[in-house]
Each structure stands twice: as C-alpha cells, then as structure tokens.
Structure 1
C-alpha cells in the first residue's frame, strides 16, 4: 500500500517506519527542510529504542523516504496519515492549527480519492472539522465530487517502547463512518495482528474520545497512588507493600500503581488538560481530573519538601547529585519532566546541582541552557563527587544497583532522596545510608 505520513515527530516517525517495515511504500512529509535533511542522513530527532535500525533498514530498502515536497507527498499515498503535534493552548485546549493545515494542504493538491487518517491526538469532533476543511477546498477547486474519507486512528505508543507497541499492538482502534475506509485500515494493520485480531472498529467520535479517556485513566492511577503514598508516610505504612497487595487483585492489576514524583511527558499532562477543557466547553465538569492535575503538580515538589525538611530552607553552599532528567526511562523527552521542577526549586534556594542522565543530556542543555549552579555531567559517579546527597528522579536501569560503597564515600553525607522507590529501606539503612523515599515509613 502507498502511505503518506504528514509529520515526522514521535508518532509520525514511528508510524512511518513500522508501516514500511511491513512492506508498504511510505513517504514521510515535514515542512522543515533541515529536519528532512537530518532524517535522510540517518539522524533522528528523538531517542527511541529500535527506531534508528528500523529507519535505516527501510530507507536503504527503498520503502521509506522523507520529503518536504508537499505535492509529492500528497500525490504518493492513497492513505494520508496526519501525525502532527497538537500542543496545549493557553486555556488547556488542544491546538489544532497543524492538523487543519495538513488537511488543507492535502485538499489543495489531491487529484484522486484519498483516505485521510487522523493519527494525532485530537479532541472529539476533529474529524468533522477536517472533513469540512477538505470539502470546502475541493468545492473551491471545482472538484466537489472527488471522493475522500476521514477516519480516526489514535496512537497508543509508550515512549521507550513505541516500536514494540506499534509492531505488537494490544489494540488498534479505528473510527470510521463507511465500510470501505474501515476495510482499508483493517487490511493495512492485518500484518501486525497475525496471532490475534486486536482491530476494534467504532464510530469516529468514540475513537477520538478513547485516546483521551485512556490517558486520563492512567494519569488518575498515578495521582491516586501518589496521594496514598503521602498518607502512608504519616500512618507508618509502606506504599510499596500496599501496591503489591492491591496489584494482585485482578480487578485492579499492577500497572501504573507506582508512587513517585508525578507524571510528565508529552501525553498525560496535555491530554488531561484537553479533556478537562472539552468538558468545560460541554458544560460537564470533571471533578476527578481536576484533582488528578492538582495532585500531580503537588507531587513534583515532594522531594523538595523532604530536602528542605532535612537541610533547611536555605540551601546555599549545598550541592546535590541528581540522577535522571527525562520524564521516564527509555526516552530523552523532558517535556513536563519532574526533574525540571526539582532543579528550579533547588537553584532558587541557592543550591548547586550536578545532574546526569544516560540519554537526555543534550536535550537538557537545550531545555535548561546555561544556568548558574547547574552542572550537566556525563557520568553518574561524577555527579556524586562532593554532593551533600543524591536525588533519584528517573528510574533508569543503571540506577537500580549502584555501587553503594562508592556512593557513600563520594557523597559528603551518605543520603539518598529516592523519587522512584528503587531500594528497600531496611537494606539501605543497613549499609549506613540515610534513605528518604516516597510513601515508605522509615524502617
């Protein structure tokens, strides 16, 4: 099948590479010539395990190409995926300017029937707006009878495992209002579901809603556990043991029950805001999601509160090692990352911060810039030297079993503030290390 993917960000690049892997002829379009040149030279704008190999293999095989030529891209694909960004506007709503601009660009150039697939995360009713844009442009061109269909195909990719999620999906949701469009997408996704059919067909508005509802539920679980963790500390309970007890109930399950420093990234914060805004527009309040947002913002400051309680509010002449800058392991994405809030508070209180991340250092330099008191270091052990304490923010695998003897010697004081509950409190105490975690009563 000939596919065009509009947008070469996270979703567009993974979608294009994975569809090409199954033998489709894929053209990925981006309006930034520098971005396209980098992709043509095998330089990816994101860190995602397995993606570079996929891109290189399929570009060399001639199944995947990158272009900034809109005419070529629209002429190529009988199926046109729109996978552009929908950032949050000031009022929390999703900014659809790029989605609607992509729809207009397609409509201005299409000469044959086209299936347009909204892959971007968009509010309910966006497909209707895309359809109106295309119909209006075709009418102005004198081509009102030129056939096209608009469908919704939301993505459910987790950063750090996006390639695997696409190649082995737990579900493929398609919203379509005609059988021909539905069958085309069923055929396209069939190679990804040879062992078990995970294709779920529904109406377009329900498909659009499902994406937001899914992310809102996951964000709710995270905030719920973070709120319980604060109570567990006051009651002398261990939230990790509570999590284990809860997770064995099949009605609850084990996923997204980990207490920590709050959620971040490109999806949960933006999508919860967009859903809350959509509810306000519809006159239907979402009280739970308002609480989810408030709890999450509060949780990003929990480690700061623990540090202040231990060292006092004035952190001048204090230095802290910080492990983990990305919002989660497996990615260099720092959007809405808890590390940003923690660093800002530490610097504002006069502290120095030596921060390390296995893959996000370059991104951190772009996001944070040159800041007095902030040192981005290339080794985890380098961050420890002369620091008053270690702060763990992201649960990268290499942080799970550090050399505790070296850690205790390198730090001025053997103190760990663990925002991801990586260690057992009793075991760390036995090593002579002072340990402050989330929702875990002192042993």
Structure 2
C-alpha cells in the first residue's frame, strides 16, 4: 500500500530538518579541526632538523673544514696568509660538484686553487648527510641496530600529522557536504511514487557478498581509526580502556582483513563487466545524475550508473591497494625493506581514510539520500517506478527478457 502524498511530504521535510541539524554539528567539528590544524602544537615536528653536521661521527664537518683549509692554503701568501683575519672561502654545493666558489681576487693564480675545490667521488660521498645512523645490537630483529634515519621523520609527519588531519577533514568535510545537500535538496524521491510492484535487482550471492565486504570494511575502518588515533580517543577514559581498545582493534583489524579481500575479489568477478566505462557515463556525470534539481529528469543508465561505477572502482582499486599494503605490513620485511615498509604504511593510511570518506557517500545515497534505493541491496527487489526512473535502459532489458510474464 503506497503512502499518501501528504505523508510523504511530511517525511521528506523531516529529512531536510535533520540534514540541517547534522550539517550544523559537522560545521562545528570542521571549525575545531581547522583550529587543531593551525594551532602549531604538533608534537611530531623535531626541534632540530637533520643536516650535514648531524652525521654519524661528524665526518662531514671534518672533511668540510679540511677542504676549506686546503683551498685557503693554496692561495698566494699575500692573499690568504697565516693571519686570522684572512677571508676563508665559504662552503657551497654548486651543481653538487664545486664546494667552494668564493675567491678574493680574480687572477690566474686562482685556477690552481680551483683544482682543489673539486673533490673526488669518495670525498663527495663523505660530504653528503648520513642517511642512517647505525649502531651495534645483539637483538635478533631486522634493523635492530638502526638508530636513526632522516626519512623516519618524514614518515612520522605523514602518519601522525598529514594522515590524521586529512582523515578528519575528508571524512568530516564530505559528511558535512552530504548533510548540507540533504538539507537544501532534500531526499531524492521516486517521481511517480511507489507502484507497489517490484523487480529483482540483485541475487542472493550478490547481496551476501556485498554485505560481507561492507561489514568487513566497517570493522576495518573502526579498528584502523583506533590504531591510528586511539590514544586521543580513549586516553581520557584511562589506561585500562585504552589498552582494551588497542588489543581488540589489533586483533580485529587482522581478523576482518581476509573477508574484505575475498569480498573485493568476488565483487570484481560478479560486476566488473557491467562497470566498464561507456559514453553514457559522461552524460550522466555532466548532469550529476539529475540529483541537483527536482525538475531535472534522471539521465539514462544501465544496471549501474556512472556514480555507482565510481564507487565500484574505488572499492576494487582502493581495496586491492589496501590488501597489498596490509599484507606487507602483516608480514614485515619478507619482501620489503625498511623504506618499503614505511611507504606501505603511509599508502595504507592515506588510501584508508579516503575510502572511508567515499563509502560514507555510498551509504548516504543507499539509505537516507534516495527513496527506494536501500531495498535493492536488502531484499534484492526494487520498485518498478524506481527502476524505470534511475536505470531505465536496464529496466527495459529486464522487460524484454521477461516479456509475457507479469512484473
């Protein structure tokens, strides 16, 4: 039995009101995040930057001083003698070859001086900043003797600062835009209303795989957030709560990874062919699916429109990247060195927060954003009017296949 127009109108107004309330709360959260981003209280920025003088044994300083003295001593005595007031050439790394370019006079005698200014390859290597500080360790762990490396500070900055703020801004910001869209545009209705007749959209296998993948991703997202910023979230509740949340999330993140990986592979097998891009998608994207105005007709689409295809490819490509980097982190140093492990963790974190933001949009469209969309993946059936409005070409194919049979 279909709802009356009055009931539908009241319900749709409530959606807009709640959209405005949620948009207001998310706007406050975004302002707070902006303050946190620029309040300059980051604990991950080192007080002393890595430089030539911070190499393992001060070799760079000694070589630098030696070359400067050697260059100075080769000048004419009346130019740079033993007087402490003489001008010493200033170090420089011009073209990575000429280390000392300042001279006090411009005459032929300086040509001899410049031969000392070009170091050989071994000397140049010693002049470079040390990429690692390695000590001695008896621990049977990979890289246990590695004490410090400059790239680790970049890695820490990306993990603790960039990814944290990127995640907050992308998730909160995208959710804010969706809530604002709901408040302004309202829920996307079925133009003709519900007909009371349905058509099969997804099979049992498709729905089961979708929900397995979706629930696995939700658990991975929640446990991943705890592993990333759990101290901030749970420390106010005490060390016991923080430790329990960390323990559950550590095991949970591993437990739900196989089902997510399996779901991504099955999804690719089931839907890959139907999600290949076509010219029809460009027309759909140009009109934004007809969602911007209630007066705009919905563009034609087959079983999956351009928006759904973008979600599909985000899930497949992003999911495969998450699986590959996740397995690399689960088995450290089996096929990646320390630098490779660092990159794997950074990529895993950045792609993870972007996928969370993207799937929030997917959840919005499938629930409160569009009337009738949720049931496609819940019981597999959709209203005939919904199918004809949003996927007209696919609906026509279904009718042709079932010609002579009642819908």
TM-score bin, normalised by smaller chain: under 0.3
Task: Return the TM-score normalized by structure 2.
Answer: 0.22
Greater fraction of residues in helix? 2
Q: Which has the higher contact order (CA 8 A, sep 6+)?
A: 2
Higher relative strand content: 1
